[in-house]
Amino acid sequence: MTATTDGSTGATLPPRAAAATETVLTTPEAAGTTPQAAADAVRRATDFLLARQNAEGWWKGDLETNVTMDAEDLLLRQFLGISDETTTRAAARFIRAEQREDGTWATFHGGPGDLSTTIEAYVALRLAGDPPDAPHMARASAWIREQGGIAASRVFTRIWLALFGWWKWEDLPELPPELIWLPTWLPLNIYDFGCWARQTIVPLTIVFAQRPVRPAPFPLDELHTDPDRPHPPRPLAPATSWDGVFQRLDKALHAFRKVAPKRVRRAAMNTAARWIIERQENDGCWGGIQPPAVYSIIALHLLGYDLNHPVMRAGLESLDRFAVWREDGSRMIEACQSPVWDTCLAVIALADAGLPADHPQLVRAADWLLGEQIVRPGDWAVRRPGLPPGGWAFEFHNDNYPDIDDTAEVILALRRVRHHDPERVDKAIQRGVRWNLGMQSRNGAWGAFDVDNTSPFPNRLPFCDFGEVIDPPSADVTAHVVEMLAAEGLAHDPRTRRGIAWLLAEQEPDGSWFGRWGVNYLYGTGSVVPALIAAGLPGSHPAIRRAVAWLERVQNDDGGWGEDLRSYKDPRKWSGRGASTASQTAWALMALLAAGERDSRAVERGVQWLTATQREDGSWDEPYFTGTGFPWDFSINYHLYRQIFPLTALGRYLHGGPATARRTAAEPLAAPCGAEAKGS
């Protein structure tokens, strides 16, 4: 079967192989012996990665998502009256460059056109001055109408349009500010939502209560299938269904709006505003991610905070830090930034590739990571009020929302460094281990940010059609915690064993594991197998053998591995299927190597693919999106994944496993927590 590598219209078949389209260093046949080629590739990749460390000790690659970030940034500036020609022109240049031949915009490289993304991009280009009869705009509007027009778009797109009168507020789901007062034991309280949704919903309750409309600079009749009736009513589902129940709840909330006492509503909005301001980070942002910052600024502005207010000024300045200015004059907006994640993974990669544990750049990275540990409570303490803090977040500034995944990987990274102050490292790790153990959910697994964030109700709300709004435990996060606990001498701790049991029960019938935060079954399997082996399962365990067999079965004809994001919607067709990528090939190799398959043909071919597709400067090219924000709905291209994970895999291929597993009793880097953590 031939691979489809052209991203202009999207693949129509799951590819089994993909020719490398980027400039490659060599071919497998000309690479010499596989170990020698791998050693050469590791040397070049190590130099490449070391050269990109910031002087403060951190790494951060671009975090690429889709053009809704850029479109909504322009819409925000239009709403606040702060548009400027330079920013608008640069954003429009980027948005135009992302348009495909059929006039659409996708949410990931090679994916299908997305209606809401295309609408928002189209409106942004109209704001930038592109006329509706220009060929690229006419193609977009025709496609939008074919897909059902604005009426068929997601709620968030219609919220942005309602801000300018392009959609009616009364035709949107209701979101009352009184939601802020619901106690934590009542369904649909704000802590039933995942932290990313919670931070977005609270400010939006103010926006929905106010229903602001700024004068529209132009009409959008060309985006309606029937301009004379642009807001067709949506049919009600049967009252006996959950959809029907929540649709009727929404109707009741619309009715409540008409009779809600003004003093009560004003008090609710003021409570929501205090909640928002209390969670503003030191750098002015909210949660270290762009969407909550945008809606928080709008909400506070509607309550009378002028743009020169310190809270607003800091918030707007924080948004500018999400902008990536490119050499061609275009401007891309990152949804968030990933320095802690990138740095701990880079340390692991470099250490596993053989860089000395006391290398100055590893020590500098460890110093920076130690300074990023969060030692005050955040929203997670609502469900764990007695748990001392000690986690790490994903971003530069996000003290309210440390995450379990980063904390586990930071601990694994710190254990690979021979630091000049081992006592400081030990204390930081002990705090992190204690916090991670305290964040275990009832089922024995771990989510990303909260404990037992598994309510079935938030996803049922008519408002919540924009992706995942809860944070249930996942195999990839649980695996990283289990791997970390095993490295800390806690493989036999009852809490670790519960996590292992959960992972074994979650294995798919085909032998893979679902990947919540990376694409997809390759990420899940690449995370779980090394964790289970680190925790003491033998390579002969039936679960490990099933995983090995699955990885061998989905290996591409070119020797690499790849998986398209469509596996989230159609796993039967797309699981483990897609054009080969550097990061996904590395995940497969990390699992196979952990399982004891170093001398297998599958590993040899995978290593050959990585060495053959490395570029002259030691990097790899990867246009495909292999990171996940919301499965299918929000995809991420982490630009350092293509560097970090291949280096990790090749290092483990050469040196026999993770650096922590290679330590000898005579040369410990630091004492693992062991018994000290058991009593936490």
Catalytic center residues: 405
CA dist., res. 76 & res. 90, Å (int): 16
| 2 dihedral zone (left: phi>0; alpha: psi -120 to 50; beta) | beta
Q: How many CA atoms lie within 13 A of 598 on its CB side?
A: 14
CA dist., res. 286 & res. 284, Å (int): 7
Instruction: Please give the angle made by the CA atoms of 162, 455 and 274, to the nearest 5 degrees.
Output: 55
CA dist., res. 620 & res. 642, Å (int): 6
Dump the DSSP string for 106-160: BSSTT--B-HHHHHHHHHHHHHTT--TTSHHHHHHHHHHHHTT-GGGS-HHHHHH
What is the H or E stretch that residue 541 is in?
none
CA dist., res. 207 & res. 201, Å (int): 10
C-alpha dist (Å) from residue 227 to 150, 235, 381, 490: 10, 20, 50, 64
Asked if 287 and 398 count as a contact pair (C-beta separation under 8 A), the reply is: yes
Asked if 646 and 585 count as a contact pair (C-beta separation under 8 A), the reply is: yes
Residue 306, φ and ψ in degrees, nearest 5 = -75, 165
Asked if 409 and 344 count as a contact pair (C-beta separation under 8 A), the reply is: yes
What is the H or E stretch that residue 270 is in?
helix 262-278
Asked if 107 and 70 count as a contact pair (C-beta separation under 8 A), the reply is: no
What is the H or E stretch that residue 634 is in?
strand 634-638
CA dist., res. 414 & res. 426, Å (int): 9
Q: What is the SS3 string spanning 211-261?
A: CCCCCCCCCCHHHCCCCCCCCCCCCCCCCCCHHHHHHHHHHHHHHHHHHCC
| Contacts with 388 (C-beta within 8 Å, 6 or more apart), sequence order | 431, 434, 435, 438
